[in-house]
Each structure stands twice: as C-alpha cells, then as structure tokens.
C-alpha cells in the first residue's frame, strides 16, 4: 500500500536522490572535475540505455533505468553545490574592490551592515572578475545610511575569513554564513569607500524593496510605533530588524514565534483573502484563467516584498500549482507540489537544505497534511465554534509533531502551551494581515485609515498581552532539552514507523518504532553519563566581560564581573547551549576572586585570593593592578596564568612571582595591550594562548 502511495507522487522519487547528492557533496567534498565527468558519463549511459530499453522492452530490467536516473539526479545535486559554493581564496593579495549591495542595509548603533557581491578586485595590477558574497560593516554616518539595494561602491579593505569564537557548543556562526555562501568580512571607515552608481540590481527586487520601505513609512505615518510597529513589520513584511530581545523571548517561550517568521501561514492567509475577494470570477474558462493569473501575481508579489524566504517560496510554488490545477479542473497532488517546490528551491539554492527555516517549514507542512486529518477525526464536536477550535488545535498539534525533534535539536526548548497560543496567535495574525491590507488600500482616506490603524494597533497590543500572559504561566516553556542530531533523526524514524503502521496496519512497524526508541534512549543516556564524568576549566572567548568557568559533574561555577548578569542576551548566547549539552543543573556565579570567594570550597574547587586549585590543576586569575603590590620570598607554582581586562602590570612581574606553563589572555584585553603582551612574551620565551585569536581555552581533566 505504501509503494502505491509513493507512485502517486512521482516527483518525490526524483527529489530524494537529488537531496542525497546535495548532502553528500556538503559532507564529503570531492573534485569538481570528477563530478562533472561522472555526470556526463551517467547521463550519456542513461540516454543510451533508454534508447535500448525502448527498443527491447524487458520489464525484469526496468530497475536499471531507475537506478541510472537516480544516479544522474544524485550527481546533479552534488553539482549544484559545486557551482553555488565556489569561494575565492585570493582576497589576501587584493585591497581594492568594486561591489554591489545585494540586500537592504541593516543599521546598528555604530555601524551599517552590508551584504555585498564583489564584481571585481585589483590583484597586483590586474582587475579580476568575481561573484564572491561578503559582509562589510561600514561606519554609520550620513552617507552610509543612504545606501540602497543595487548600489555599486568601490572601496579599499583587507578582508578576513569569518571564524567562530571557539566557545564550546556555541552557535556556529561561521557555518551559518557558509551555508549562505558568505566566507569573508571587513570593516570600512568613513572615507574608505565611494559610491559609483545607483540601483544596479535586479529591477524586480529593487521594486519590491522600495515597496517594502513605502509600506513601512505608511505604518510609521499612522503613529504605529514600538513593539506594535516591530510586530507589524515582521508579521506582514518579514522585517525583523525592529524586534527587541524581550518581545522575541516572549513569542519564543509562548510558542508564537512562527507567526513572526513570514511563512506558508502568511501566504495561505493572503491566498484565502484574495480568493474570497475574487469569488465572482468563476463563470467560464477565460475568467477562471484570469483569476488564476491575478492570484499568482499577488502571491509572488507578497513573496518578493518579504524577501523570498524558503518557506514563502515553498508555499508560493505549491499554491501556484494548486491554483493552476483548480483553474484547469484538475486536482494536483499536494505532496507532489511540495516536492516540486523543494526541487526548484534547491536547484538554485542547494545550501538552503541546511537552513533551519527551510527544514522547519517543510516538516511542518508535511506533518499538517498527513497528521491533521487523523487528529481531527479523533473528536467530533457538534458545536460550530468548538469544531473550529478543535480544527485549529489539530493543526497546531500536527505541526508540533513534525517540528519538535528538530526544534529541540536547534533551540533546546519546548513551548508547553503552544496549542493555547495558536488559538490566539493564528486568528490574530489573520486579523492583522487583513487590517494591514485595509490600511494600505484606504491610506489616502485620513479618517477611515485612522480607524483602521487604531484597530490594527489594538489587535497587536492584545496579541502581545496574550503571549506575555501565556509566557508567565507556570512551566510555560521546558528549557535545556538536549537532543543530538542522531537522536532527532531517530525520533523522525519512529514517526515514519508509526505512519507506516497507520497505512499498512502491519505490527512489525510497532516493533521497529520500539527498537528505535530504545536506541534513542540509549544514546541520550550515554551522552549524559559522559557529560557527568567530564571536569573542565574554560576561559571563554567573551569580548565584553571576562567569563571563566569550571565544570564538575552537574555543576558549573562562573568567575566573572558584575556586568555579566546584566546582559541576558550575551550570557544566553555564550552559555545556554553549553549548559544544555553538558546536562548542567546547578550554576554558581562568583563575581570576583579575591574577596567573597576566599576560603570557599565550591564543588571541590579550592579558591584563595586569585588562586584556584582542583585535583592537581592550578590557575591564577589576574584582572587588576594588585600584582604590583604583591611580594613573595618564593615563586608560586601554577599551571596557567589568566589575564583579563583590568590587568595593569607587565610580563616581567609575572616571571618574578610565578612559575607557570602557559599565559592565557582572554578576549577582554584591549588591542593595544594585547600587542605589548605578545611582544614581551615573545622576547621572554613565554608560551601564550590568545583566546581572541584561538578561541576558548579548554582544559579537560
């Protein structure tokens, strides 16, 4: 029965080897030339065998043709990665560039973030063509703030390869940008760049971005500000630049974050609105075709304005197939439409397979299509309102089934009241989009537009209040859940086994699901036992404040200053993943080593003044000028000396007081002082570990 279902989705059978080829090339790179030759050879073999197969029909060997086609698609998938993922390693010899702005600018307090595509660069005396994408941070001033999509600039700069901070279990920023084909970055001061030409970009994108700016100006003109403006910009246009950390935390914890990421939900709402407005266009074939064209044009216009994210593109392609099918009187397979949309996206952007949004959007829609009808049939409310509530709840549960393993793998949390949140958030999102469209349509009528704007602000305020109240409920979010990639895959295989059982009613799939669950539980317990057995001393790569940690069993002690706890975003970014993946339950913060910490024994760790010791390992933490006042008749023996912001002595003084193996400089040491320390250490033959350059210093016992 399952095979028969798969045969109804021909494009699904084609996209699987294509995706496997993409993933294989990403994980196991091999030379482009061999790949190209292999693809030509296999395609030629497929054509020749196809000709032979048609001449002599032999059904026993039809698998050969299927194998050759699958192998061709596998190699084609790998080829798309090779074509899209070419990097230029010659930037080190270049210092003059001409580049085009390929996305709208993003403003911060001190700089302007630009995503540029290098058109050419000067290498020695020769201009070399390029299409490398880079990140440039330009000093914020009156000129840089006026840059627009498509602007062509020339500049002098030294590019540096993007690298991670090297902190344990921290978000892999380098890989994240590499998946967007960005590998280099630099900083430009005022005067180091010059505008060459305006609006050299794609006219469709340029028009869409201008329209987005116009719509944002309309929102502002109606006195929609603060969190209401931030939510409206994110929900209707996909612009998240204005969202505060607090509002993002609230929506994430309550389970409403998905409505702020423009996705298939928003495209579906636009489609429903337009389809209901054009209800009268269904009389004949020509009128139906005109209606289909209007629907498709407006759906893709919305997709362009919101930046063509994978989820929006997927939904737009799928809906386009459905619209064309309805206009022609046919009912295309939804699964086939999903497979086609994924294939088209990956054909042009193969690295999208690694994007979290891409994965979540496809898993959510597949789960909704498959599980929602089955969940909905579990109850049969007679009341119309209760029936609508149950239908919406069934959608929420189905989406969570499809996304919770991968969501926990990436974000380590689960919103406990997601079904309650969606009962509020989805209808509110529908109303906000309807009112936003009405505001844009009636903007030229002051009185009417003011009433609509007031209703819009009130709806958003009510949504914000509701999500905040849900966040404040007891256990609103289950945090610090640790799944490995293999454990997440095991959970999806369990779901597939259950789905196969529901299709075939074969009890062997129940056995498979139980065996997979045993593997899942064994893997998680193994990781937990290993984590509990680790003892680690870590000097984190933290530029704003010194952060030194000591892990033992389930406990973690942090040595830092008073500013550490004030920046929740920084502390969460730095430590949350580490604490989760190491299964740490108890955390203690010691704000200074030298006063309150004296003579305390923390989880077996001896602390005295600036001296730490544990099981034979010794460290000295120096973050002030007290070193100049110290006197000793004999040198103190230690393994490492850690220098942090505030250290105001010299390296000679360290040699007078300590015998040590390694000097560790954390990332808070100012650049000018760092250069001096490195120079002095080189003269004295001292082994230095520079956290800013090498990443976090980690010592395991």
268: closest CA among 304, 212, 307, 315? 315
Q: Are 180 and 155 within 8 A, CB to CB? A: no
**Residues 470, 420: contact at Cβ < 8 Å?**
yes
Q: What is the pLDDT of residue 93?
A: 67
Is there a contact between 104 and 149 (Cβ–Cβ < 8 Å)?
A: yes
Distance of alpha carbon 98 from alpha carbon 130, whole angstroms: 10
The candidate with the shortest Cα–Cα distance to 355, out of 310, 312, 316, is: 310
Where would I find the H helices in 222-284? 226-237, 245-254, 264-277
DSSP calls for 52-84: HHHHS--GGGHHHHHHHHHHHHHHHHHHHHHHH
Angle between helices 446-471 and 418-441 (to 10 degrees): 170
**Residues 701 and 617 sit within 8 Å (Cβ to Cβ):** yes
Q: Could you tell me which residues come within 8 angstroms of residue 463 by beta carbon, excluding any fewer than 6 positions away?
A: 231, 256, 424, 425, 428, 429, 432
Q: In the prediction, which pLDDT does 595 show?
A: 45
Cα end-to-end span (Å), the chain: 55
**Residue 597: C-alpha distances to residues 366, 631, 642 (Å):** 54, 21, 17
Place of tokens 């984590």: 531
Q: Are 257 and 421 in contact (CB under 8 A)?
A: no
* Cα 31 to chain centroid, rounded: 29
Which residues, listed in sequence order, are joined to residue 611 by a DSSP beta bridge? 608, 620
- For the record, the structure tokens of 699 come out as 């010592």
Q: If you search the block for the tokens 């498709």, which residue do you land on?
A: 296
State pTM to two decimals: 0.83
Would you state the torsion angle of the CA atoms of residues 230, 233, 235, 238, taken in this order, to the nearest 10 degrees?
-120
Structure tokens given for 245: 């950390």
Q: What is the DSSP secondary structure assignment for residue 415, as one 8-state letter?
A: E
Angle between helices 418-441 and 226-237 (to 10 degrees): 90
Contacts for 527 with CB less than 8 Å, ≥ 6 apart: 482, 484, 583
What phi-psi label fits residue 187: left (phi over 0), alpha (psi between -120 and 50 degrees) or beta?
Answer: beta
Query: In the beta sheet, which residues pair with residue 156?
Result: 96
Q: Does domain 535-700 have CATH number 3.60.15.10?
A: yes
Distance (Å, whole) CA 488 – CA 494: 10
The dihedral over CA atoms of 181, 186, 190, 194, expressed in degrees to the nearest 10, equals -50
b/e sequence 374-400, b meaning 16+ C-beta within 10 Å: ebbeeeeeeeeeeeeebebbbbbbbbb
Q: Which CATH number fits domain 91-201: 3.40.720, 1.20.120, 2.40.50, 1.20.272?
A: 2.40.50
List phi, psi (to 5°) of 540: -75, 150
Strands 662-665 and 688-690: parallel
> Backbone phi, then psi, for 677, in 5-degree steps?
-65, -45
Tokens matching residue 401: 């089934």
For residues 551 and 534, the answer to whether their CB atoms sit within 8 Å is yes
Largest CA distance in the chain: 101
* 10-residue mean pLDDT series, the chain (701 residues): 60 86 83 74 77 61 76 86 69 80 86 91 83 90 87 90 88 86 89 85 82 89 90 87 86 85 78 80 79 88 76 80 77 79 86 86 86 88 86 88 91 88 88 89 89 93 93 88 92 88 82 93 93 91 89 87 73 86 85 49 70 88 76 82 87 87 92 90 92 92 82
pLDDT at 257: 83
Can you give the pLDDT at residue 58? 58
Q: Which residue ranges make up each domain of the chain?
A: 2-84, 91-201, 203-255+417-481, 272-354, 356-415, 485-532, 535-700
Beta bridge partners of 587: 556
CA distance 166 to 152: 35
Which value, in Å, is the radius of gyration of the alpha carbons in the chain? Answer: 29
Is 244 in a helix, a strand, or coil?
Answer: coil
Q: Say if residues 658 and 642 touch (Cβ distance below 8 Å).
A: no
Give, to the nearest 10 degrees, the angle between helix 62-84 and helix 32-55: 150
Task: With CA atoms as reference, report the closest residue to 79 among 43, 46, 129.
Answer: 43
> For the residues of 506-522, what is the DSSP string, one character each?
-THHHHHHHHHHHHHHH
Q: How far apart are CA 453 and CA 460, in angstroms?
A: 11
Q: Which residues contact 378 (CB under 8 A, 6 or more apart)?
A: none
Residues 6+ apart with CB under 8 A from 78: 21, 22, 24, 25, 35
- Of the candidates 586, 495, 580, 590, the one whose C-alpha atom is nearest the C-alpha of residue 546 is 590
Helices (H), ranges, 632-670: 651-657
């Amino acid at each position: 029965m399952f095979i028969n279902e798969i045969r109804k989705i021909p494009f699904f059978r084609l996209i699987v080897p294509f995706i496997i080829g993409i993933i294989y090339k990403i994980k196991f790179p091999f030379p482009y030339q061999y790949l190209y030759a292999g693809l030509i050879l296999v395609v030629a073999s497929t054509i020749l065998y196809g000709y032979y197969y048609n001449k002599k029909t032999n059904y026993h060997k039809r698998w050969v043709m299927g194998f050759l086609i699958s192998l061709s698609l596998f190699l084609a998938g790998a080829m798309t990665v090779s074509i899209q993922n070419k990097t230029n390693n010659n930037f080190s010899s270049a210092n003059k560039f001409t580049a085009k702005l390929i996305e709208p600018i993003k403003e911060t307090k001190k700089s302007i973030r630009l995503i540029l595509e290098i058109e050419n660069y000067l290498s020695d005396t020769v201009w070399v063509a390029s299409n490398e994408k880079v990140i440039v941070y330009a000093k914020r001033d009156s000129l840089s703030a006026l840059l627009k999509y498509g602007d062509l600039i020339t500049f002098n700069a030294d590019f540096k390869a993007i690298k991670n901070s090297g902190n344990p279990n921290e978000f892999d920023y380098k890989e994240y940008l590499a998946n967007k084909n960005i590998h280099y970055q630099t900083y430009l001061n005022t005067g180091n760049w010059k505008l060459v030409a305006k609006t050299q970009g794609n006219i469709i994108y340029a028009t869409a971005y201008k329209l987005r700016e116009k719509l944002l100006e309309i929102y502002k003109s109606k006195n929609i500000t603060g969190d209401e403006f931030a939510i409206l910009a994110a929900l209707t246009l996909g612009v998240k630049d204005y969202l505060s950390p607090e509002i993002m935390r609230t929506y994430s914890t309550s389970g409403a974050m998905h409505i702020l990421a423009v996705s298939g939900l928003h495209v579906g709402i636009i489609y429903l609105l337009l389809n209901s407005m054009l209800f009268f266009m269904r009389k004949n074939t020509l009128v139906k075709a005109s209606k289909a064209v209007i629907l498709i044009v407006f759906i893709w216009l919305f997709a362009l304005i919101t930046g063509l994210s994978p989820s929006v593109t997927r939904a737009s392609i799928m809906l386009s197939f459905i619209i064309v099918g309805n206009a022609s009187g046919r009912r295309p397979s939804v699964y086939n439409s999903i497979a086609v949309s994924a294939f088209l996206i990956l054909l042009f952007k193969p690295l999208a397979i690694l994007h979290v949004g891409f994965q979540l959007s496809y898993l959510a829609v597949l789960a909704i299509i498959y599980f929602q009808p089955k969940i909905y049939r579990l109850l049969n409310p007679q009341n119309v309102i209760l029936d609508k509530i149950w239908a919406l709840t069934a959608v929420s549960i189905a989406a969570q089934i499809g996304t919770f393993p991968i969501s926990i793998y990436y974000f380590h949390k689960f919103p406990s009241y997601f079904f309650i949140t969606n009962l509020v958030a989805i209808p509110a999102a529908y109303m906000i989009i309807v009112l936003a469209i009405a505001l844009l349509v009636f903007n030229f009528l002051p009185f009417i537009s003011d009433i609509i704007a007031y209703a819009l602000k009130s709806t958003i305020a009510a949504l914000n209040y509701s999500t905040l109240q849900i966040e404040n409920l007891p256990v609103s979010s289950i945090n610090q859940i640790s799944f490995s990639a293999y454990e997440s895959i095991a959970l999806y295989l369990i779901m597939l086994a259950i789905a196969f059982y529901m299709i075939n009613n074969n009890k062997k799939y129940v056995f498979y699901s139980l065996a997979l669950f045993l593997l899942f539980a064994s893997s998680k317990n193994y990781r937990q036992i290993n984590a509990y057995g680790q003892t680690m001393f870590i000097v984190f790569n933290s530029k704003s404040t010194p952060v030194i940690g000591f892990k033992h069993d389930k406990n973690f002690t942090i040595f830092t200053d008073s500013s550490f706890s004030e920046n929740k975003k920084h502390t969460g970014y730095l430590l949350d993943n580490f604490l989760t993946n190491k299964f740490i339950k108890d955390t203690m913060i010691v704000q200074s080593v030298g006063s309150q910490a004296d003579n305390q024994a923390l989880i077996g760790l001896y602390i005295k003044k600036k001296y730490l010791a544990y099981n034979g390992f010794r460290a000295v933490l120096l973050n002030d000028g007290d070193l100049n006042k110290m006197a000793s008749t004999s040198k103190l023996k230690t393994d490492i000396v850690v220098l942090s912001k505030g250290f105001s002595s010299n390296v000679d003084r360290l040699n007078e007081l300590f015998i040590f193996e390694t000097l560790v400089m954390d990332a808070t040491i100012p650049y000018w002082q760092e250069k001096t320390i490195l120079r002095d250490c080189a003269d004295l033959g001292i082994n230095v570990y520079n956290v800013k350059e090498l990443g976090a210093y980690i010592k395991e016992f």
